[in-house]
Structure 1
Amino acid sequence: MSLEHAQSYLPLVAGLLTGSAPLMADQNMAELRAAAAPADYVATLGARGGISYAARAAAGLSGGAAGSTDGIVVRVMGVNGPLMKADQECGPRGLMSLANDLQRASRDTEISAVLLRIDSPGGQVFGTQSVVDGVKACQAAGKPVVALCEDGLMCSAAYWIGSAADTIIVTHETCTIGSIGIMASWMDVQPYLASLGVKFHEVYAEQSKQKNADFAAAAKGDYKAVQANLTAIATGFLGDVRTNRGSRLDTKLFEKSGAAAGKTFFASQAGDIGLIDAIGSFSDAIGECVRLVQAGGAGK
């Protein structure tokens, strides 16, 4: 996750620790979840080549649209906020829910393409690969996937997901792309709790001498073992980005610019490196879905 975004949550953490955090009692969780649920759009190619689209309900379609000459059904899914594996009670839907939605879309004969609307700083590693698997399942079923960064962020785990799409579009020059890498952070509150009189005791079985050894060492300031684990994950992340972007990625500039080391970029420079494909609107992203479907489906 991009560090500046992660640190923006520190006031909330402080509020939770002091009992002064804002309550969610007035929030309608059902409405929040409904707003984040996948939505279908029906895109229609006009006689002069223009593309119009409408929400599926507004188009009056209840089924069978993807096989119709009247329109192409694009399933739109949101990838928003900090990404966590499980659904958050007071936050965004989890990565596993998104992965399941993608798998269902891959099997749905009425769906022709998928559009991921992304505005996320990244998040948890666990669950990210399941979402990528869902993207690839759609592509294997001949359904192209387009990623759209909407006036925000496509960073870290969110870029890992977006890089798997057939096309990446961003809406504005100020969209922030990258943060390709792995980090871990945690707060050591034991000294504070110890000052309150709390005592900590840990007892391990004789056979469990390596259990939690990495983090026990890190707690004493030795981060080598934890860093080795992070390095292994980062190697996979970088490899996936190179594979997913293929010939569109300027491999020399990818290294020289710092993109491979976790740097972030605005749209123009991200385009020069090959991290994105175009600057455009939501309508352009729908149009790209239609173009890819008419060109024969998924395939970068």
Structure 2
Amino acid sequence: MDFVEQERMAHGIPSQGKITITVDEYSSNPTQAFTHYNINQSRFQPPHVHMVDPIPYDTPKPAGHTRFVCVSDTHSRTDGIQMPYGDILLHTGDFTELGLPTEVKKFNDWLGTLPYEYKIVIAGNHELTFDKDFIAELVKQDYYRFPSVSKLKPEDFDNVQSLLTNCIYVQDSEVTVKGFQIYGTPWCTIESIPSRCITALYDNCSAQDRKKLRRVVNTAQRITQTNLPSIDSVYTSRCLRQAANIIEDPSHPGHSLFSPLPSGRKSLCLKARTTTLKDSFYPAVIRLLNGPCIH
């Protein structure tokens, strides 16, 4: 049965055969779609998408329907979760904290207790060990924030996906279940992970780190065959957008830091004794707003 016809039945609309679905104008450009719809996520509603209210977890399934149960970001905290009834479980990433083998095994054991006919899993950005090149480099750096990761040996993450024996794991691949084609990929748009914390970190990046970030953008452009904003322009636009929100919100803890000079045209530059503080968000964004500062 056609998916659209199922949806029509679900909403009490008489079946009239197949109908045409209008494709979103940003479907071919995920980065542009992210930027466009991220402008106001609190009222996120793409065109041609019918938003529905959640239903109670124990709601019976109508006859002739296939019910998907979609979940993500469980982060090894699955104890006590009351899962809805359904046919296909779709876990779309971040089922661990760091992708440690022990975490993956625990998640796999939990999947084994669930009654779904099909369980499909996609990795997220927290599944660090699922990207062998990245985790190998992270282990070498002995990163202080992830001491448990630093203790890993190559054989621990050589094929960590094989620990997922109670599901269908998809990575840059697709699977067909009950007539539905499902494609899964753990990769994010270029404006997702780098730009989420770019306002706090980019000014403190070394020249070498900035070069690596620019290479990421260049690689993404070659793969997607689209023009992407430079990492520097993303940083500038994100900083200015965040600063504008803080300036307009008197209740924000950082609002008073944007103290205007008597002229009213510029903000008071913040003095900093250390390079780390100087290159943190507030001094950096005030420099962006003001242009060159004279102390």
- TM-score scaled to structure 1, two decimals? 0.28
Q: Which has the higher strand share?
A: 1
